[in-house]
């Protein structure tokens, strides 16, 4: 999914998302962020997997709340179209990787709730919004043993970057936590019923100094599942 520039009224894309997919052997395309669900759904039909990028805050309406702060910026069209993406990924068991907002969106769409603003609503000593450069590691996370992320990375604790002001409050009843920050905040989750529906709160497309290879593994796994799906049909 493309990002949305509310000042230029234009879609845009950070190269890291595309590069991550290309390095893993996949072919990234940017979906049309348009009002026609029919056109959008047709474009989805060309895809073997979906990456939900970062971006504006998820509309609180999605998890049954009113917007509590004026600084929250939403883009309801994205919420609407990403609901179609998530439905399709679940229905056809296609791989989906949610990054930052992508994880938050998955959680809200699947029945969870969000902190609308971490500094205002969640007391923590950890800075989840690191100063530039954004790619540098900001805080550590603990991987939950026995989850696919811990199998994949073969680590107990890794350093991640962190550029989010929202976060998961109540985890969706059908998602399972794969990693937490030391303040308890969920930093990765997955849908155990499906092959690869994962979300991470950090930005693997901006590999930091410490866990570059680990982030590449996430892209590789995502693309491998997309390729497996393609070979089947």
The site for Mn ion (CB under 5 A) is made up of: 128, 162
Helix or strand or coil: residue 68? coil
* Bridge partners of residue 158, in order along the sequence: 141
Tell me if residue 164 is catalytic.
no
Tell me if residue 47 is catalytic.
no
Helix or strand or coil: residue 12? strand
Residue placing its CB nearer to Mn ion in the complex, 162 or 172: 162
Residues 217, 41: Cα–Cα separation, whole Å: 29
Q: How far is the CB of 169 from Mn ion (least distance, A)?
A: 14
Residue placing its CB nearer to Mn ion in the complex, 10 or 212: 212
Which is nearest to 228 in space by CA: 109, 92, 126? Answer: 92
Tell me if residue 6 is catalytic.
no
Q: How far is the CB of 128 from Mn ion (least distance, A)?
A: 4
- What beta strand segments (E) does the chain contain? 3-5, 10-12, 50-52, 96-99, 114-115, 139-143, 157-160, 167-168, 176-181, 186-190, 197-200
Active-site residue, from 128, 139, 164, 203: 203
Active-site residue, from 47, 82, 100, 144: 100
Q: How far is the CB of 179 from Mn ion (least distance, A)?
A: 10
Residue placing its CB nearer to Mn ion in the complex, 159 or 228: 159
**Which residues are marked as active site?**
100, 203, 205
């Amino acid at each position: 999914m493309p990002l949305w520039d509310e000042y230029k009224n234009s879609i845009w894309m950070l190269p890291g998302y595309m590069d991550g997919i290309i390095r893993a052997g996949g072919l990234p395309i940017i979906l049309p962020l348009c009002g026609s669900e029919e056109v959008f759904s047709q474009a989805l039909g060309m895809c073997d997997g979906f990456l939900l990028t970062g971006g504006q805050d998820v509309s609180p309406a999605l998890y049954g709340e009113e917007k509590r702060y004026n600084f929250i910026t939403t883009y309801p069209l994205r919420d609407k179209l990403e609901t179609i993406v998530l439905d399709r990924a679940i229905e056809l068991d296609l791989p989906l990787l949610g990054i930052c907002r992508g994880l938050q969106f998955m959680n809200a769409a699947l029945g969870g709730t969000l902190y609308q603003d971490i500094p205002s609503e969640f007391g923590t000593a950890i800075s989840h919004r690191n100063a530039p450069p954004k790619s540098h590691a900001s805080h550590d996370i603990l991987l939950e043993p026995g989850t696919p992320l811990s199998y994949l990375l073969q680590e107990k604790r890794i350093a991640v970057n962190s550029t989010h002001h929202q976060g998961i409050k109540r985890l969706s009843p059908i998602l399972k936590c794969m990693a937490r920050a030391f303040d308890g905040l969920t930093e990765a989750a997955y849908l155990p019923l499906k092959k690869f529906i994962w979300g991470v709160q950090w930005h693997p497309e901006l590999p930091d100094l410490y866990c570059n290879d680990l982030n590449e593994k996430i892209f590789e796994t995502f693309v491998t599942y997309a390729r497996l799906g393609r070979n089947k049909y």
